Chains A and B, each alone.
Chain A
């Protein structure tokens, strides 16, 4: 199937869907509201997210807003998936796989706290019918060992199996590393089946994303965790765009200064810009880098996979920003402080 046929319908639809995103004005109004309640009320009455917030009893539950927005995101995913078939459908399902792993993490944390998994399903993002594992099976798990055993036959089993006797405190770290790794390898695999042009586009997007995550991981590993260089390198993600294994290895066996030096010579130099606190702003800088990239693909507007992928991520960043605005209000940050923590740059503000 040619790209014209594959993308003409969905790209048009996505443009319409994107036109419902918040405008800069919405952001400014939201930030200028006095209280969290007023902000949520505004979301409820004036934005596309409103209809998903209708059932809120009180207007101060940020967690609930986040959950509803995430569910909205998954719903958008499902809408888009319907437009694709075969390998493209598989790719989008692989992208959705991330939310499945998020839910799995949720259950594991609940298990660690000794909570009832039935309760956690209420705050899960994906509907359990879409899981590749059986929720009905795992919800009866009494111990971690039992839980992992009940995942047998799924992709999760192999990556979790080595940790079945681990203490919960340590476990979450390993698990999250491994689940993320699983998600990315799953994605890379799915991307290989796309048409050549789309594969290149996707690999570029994914590759830069992986580069950024690897740099962040090594930076933090060197600075905060006392990990062996061997461990550090083993937990990195493969298939980066500019940082290949040997480059990463070089970073892992060096020190922080070396890392800063190397990174400032690349297109990711903003990450280690000393104008502001590197530790504090690294995460948001990564997201801004990706945000710009995705926004670019939208502007170029070619008939290829970039628009659908960009849409999903831009929506994700928007949700993140909304939640940041609510949280900032809750902790009493000023208008200008809040803007610093947003992925989107609002007119007239500058970093």
Chain B
């Protein structure tokens, strides 16, 4: 239910142990590595100078970092290519990390060898496929429309007084030709469609060869050259082309069989190699954070304090290791949130906005409870809630956090549905345990505002605690979200709320006096803070500017308090919308006049409300959290704890 306490782990070990240590750390998924070089530079690698440590200390002077191995990266790419050529897909998560590491040279040479072996069939397949494409796209379709053309190509070629051409014309050019047909001494025949356009056959007197060429060129005629070896009628040519295609396909099949054979011959070895390739490259990635000297490696990373014992155990498995754990460093640790199963999904909502800083309160439980409360009030329906729960469980198989979130919201809907007495929008099926929102409009709006005020007050408390943790006196004591702010807010509530409700909560003069003191605190927050901290001067350079800004920010404070409080009315309003939408569908059902019509209207209405209104309510809830509440107490400028693991970077 909080931000876990972190500690910096610094390790020194023998250089030949580095792979083993890293592998073990990867498996734990509990270390967030940082640059060891930086740690060394900042003198965080501190340990006692005793005899056994002297060696390691001296070695610190020869320290460097691991270089990126470009050549190996290339082989990794080849490995991936190999996988895709051979249709193999290995699961990165299922890598056998316990297998002994192969030497890089061995991996490289074996991968290269297999890679080389598949190159020839792969290139062949590529070339053959290109040829098939060519046949399919071009020639095969060029004769499609002239299946019953009885004349052979040879006969056409052997004509004495006539010549012919085949080629492509655009629609526009074809149109031009058509309109000028009487002046053109040629016969045009549409013979088929290729990918590039319509194919035409042109027959003309050989004497007019030159003119015809010029005319066709002015029409952008794209001639298709029919290869000499083609013979017979168009039908025969087509058949021949089809046969060619089949032949090509069988050749492709042959090459694929060769690949298949290579695959089955090497399969197990490839798996081993690719595993090693991946593992080695992953370790190389991580090693960029590791520093080395002649004999030792140096590694730094954040771990949770609760994992120290486990780390010690893991490291204990390696010979001659020196490890240090240091809780308070000058650096800002990453934030590792720890919440119980119930609140875990809401962590996702929080991270969407920003990860809490290490010294900030984790708002997740508060977000969880308040979000569920708002959601329930806005979307209270036993039946629809149940649908959400089921949907959440189903979705949870793929998207764990979002599914979980949906389930919890569904439960909240079900609870409020019972309180409201609503099942799938039908208000008559069960009695309301509390009240029917639509019949108590003012009440539900009031409830929403009171709930909002309660939540706002809690968020003030969070804000003050966070400021205390940051040692921020200015914001914590005198800020408009600090102690002064909360006092001002309470007084305003007492005075305004009291007069609205007609009861006296606090005597007017006293209330006003306290509010004025709080206001003065806010206006003079900088000089007051400096007085407490005994800092001089009391103001910055621009004293006038400070007070102008300060007084204007008062107006903003009042507005924010007012609008912030009233904006919770929307929670009640959406409870009404929810019922109102159903009323509309019910009316449509009645208007249809049949039972079937009424049922259809309610089913459609339920789908509509669940989809559209559900989405709106979800967004409104987020808005209230992010805008009305987070802005008061939450900064979210922390860095997420990202442990290194095998799968991700």
Contact A158–B172 (Cβ < 8 Å): no
Cβ contacts under 8 Å, B170 to chain A: 158
Closest to B223 in A: A162
B219 is contacted by which of A227, A228, A234 (Cβ under 8 Å)? A234
Please tell me if B211 contacts chain A, counting CB pairs below 8 Å: yes
Say if the beta carbon of B310 comes within 8 Å of chain A: no
Count of interface residues, chain B, beta-carbon cutoff 8 Å: 19
Given contacts A162-B222, A234-B176, A238-B172, contact A253 B214 (CB under 8 A): no
Collect the chain A residues with CB atoms within 8 Å of residue B313's CB.
Answer: none
- Min CB–CB distance A160 → chain B (angstroms): 10
Known contacts A245-B179, A249-B179, A253-B183, A234 near B215 by CB under 8 Å? yes
In contact, B179 and A228 (Cβ under 8 angstroms): no
Nearest chain A CB to B137's CB is how many angstroms away?
A: 14
B218, CB-defined interface residue at 8 Å: yes
- Residues of chain B within 8 A of A162, CB atoms compared: 217, 220-223
Looking across the interface, which residue of chain A has its beta carbon closest to that of B196?
Answer: A158
- B184 on the interface (CB 8 Å rule)? yes
* B176 with A233: CB separation less than 8 A: yes
Asked whether any CB of chain B lies closer than 8 Å to the CB of A159, the reply is yes
Cβ of A50 < 8 Å from any Cβ of B?
A: no
Question: Shortest CB–CB separation between residue B642 and chain A, in angstroms?
Answer: 38
Q: 1/0 contact trace for A230-262 toward B, CB 8 Å?
A: 110111001000000110010001000000000
- Do A231 and B180 touch (CB < 8 A)? no
* Chain B, residue nearest A157 (CB): B196
In whole angstroms, how far apart are the Cα atoms of A228 and B215 in the complex?
8
Cross-chain contact A228 with B214 (CB below 8 angstroms): yes
Q: Which residues of chain A have C-beta atoms less than 8 A from B179's C-beta?
A: 245-246, 249
Give the residues in chain B near A159, CB-CB below 8 Å: 220
Q: Which residues in chain A, 35-57, are within 8 Å of chain B measured between CB atoms?
A: none
User: Mask for B520-542, Cβ within 8 A of A = 1, else 0?
Assistant: 00000000000000000000000
Total A-B pairs, Cβ < 8 A = 46
Residues of A contacting B215 with CB < 8 Å? 228, 230-231, 234
Residues of B within 8 A of A246 (CB): 179
Say how far A180's CB is from chain B's closest CB, in angstroms. Answer: 13
Q: At the interface, yes or no: A174 with Cβ under 8 Å from chain B?
A: yes
Cβ of B133 under 8 Å from chain A: no
* A341 on the B face (CB < 8 A): no
Q: How far is the CA of A245 from the CA of B173 in the complex (A)?
A: 13
Distance of A161 Cα from B173 Cα, bound (Å): 15
Chain B residues whose CB sits within 8 angstroms of the CB of A174 once the complex forms: 217
Chain B 204-217, CB-CB to A under 8 Å as 1, else 0, gives 00000001001101
Contact with A along B171-209 (1 / 0, CB 8 A): 011001001100110000000000010000000000000
Q: For A163, what are the chain B residues with a Cβ–Cβ distance below 8 Å?
A: 217
B211 touches A228 (CB 8 A): yes
Between A158, A174, A230, A238, the greatest number of chain B beta carbons within 10 A of the residue's beta carbon is seen for A230
Q: For residue B184, which residues in chain A have a CB less than 8 angstroms away from its CB?
A: 230
**Cβ-defined partner of B180 (8 Å) among A161, A178, A230:** A230
Which residues of A have CB within 8 Å of B196?
A: 158
Interface bits A181-194 vs B (CB < 8 Å: 1, else 0): 00001000000000
Q: Give A123 Cβ to nearest chain B Cβ, in Å.
A: 29
Residues in B with CB closer than 8 Å to A185 are 172
Set of chain B residues within 8 Å of A233, measured between Cβ atoms: 176, 180
Which of B211, B219, B222 touches A161 (beta carbons < 8 Å)?
Answer: B222
Given contacts A159-B220, A162-B221, A185-B172, contact A231 B183 (CB under 8 A): no
Most chain B Cβ neighbours within 10 Å, of A161, A228, A229, A234: A234
Q: Of all chain B residues, which has the CB nearest A232? A: B218
Q: Is the CB of B220 within 8 A of A229?
A: no
Q: If the complex has contacts A230-B215, A231-B215, are A249 and B180 also in contact, measured as CB distance less than 8 A? A: yes
Bound complex: CA A122 to CA B215 (Å): 37
In the complex, which residues of chain B have a beta carbon less than 8 angstroms from the beta carbon of A253? 183
Determine how close the nearest CB of chain A comes to the CB of B220; give it in whole angstroms.
Answer: 6
- What does the 1/0 interface line of B29-67 toward A look like (CB < 8 Å)? 000000000000000000000000000000000000000
Q: Is the CB of B172 within 8 A of A231?
A: no
Q: What 1/0 flags go to B418-441 for Cβ under 8 Å of A?
A: 000000000000000000000000
Instruction: Using CB atoms and an 8 Å cutoff, list the residues of chain B in contact with chain A.
Output: 170, 172-173, 176, 179-180, 183-184, 196, 211, 214-215, 217-223
A-B contact pairs, 18 of them (CB 8 A): A158-B196, A158-B222, A159-B220, A162-B220, A174-B217, A178-B220, A185-B172, A228-B211, A230-B183, A230-B214, A231-B218, A233-B176, A234-B180, A238-B172, A245-B176, A245-B179, A249-B179, A249-B180
* Known interface pairs A158-B170, A234-B173, A234-B219; 19 further A-B residue pairs with C-beta atoms within 8 A, sorted by A's residue number: A159-B220, A162-B222, A163-B217, A174-B217, A178-B220, A228-B211, A228-B215, A230-B183, A230-B184, A231-B214, A233-B176, A233-B180, A234-B176, A234-B215, A238-B172, A245-B176, A245-B179, A249-B179, A253-B183
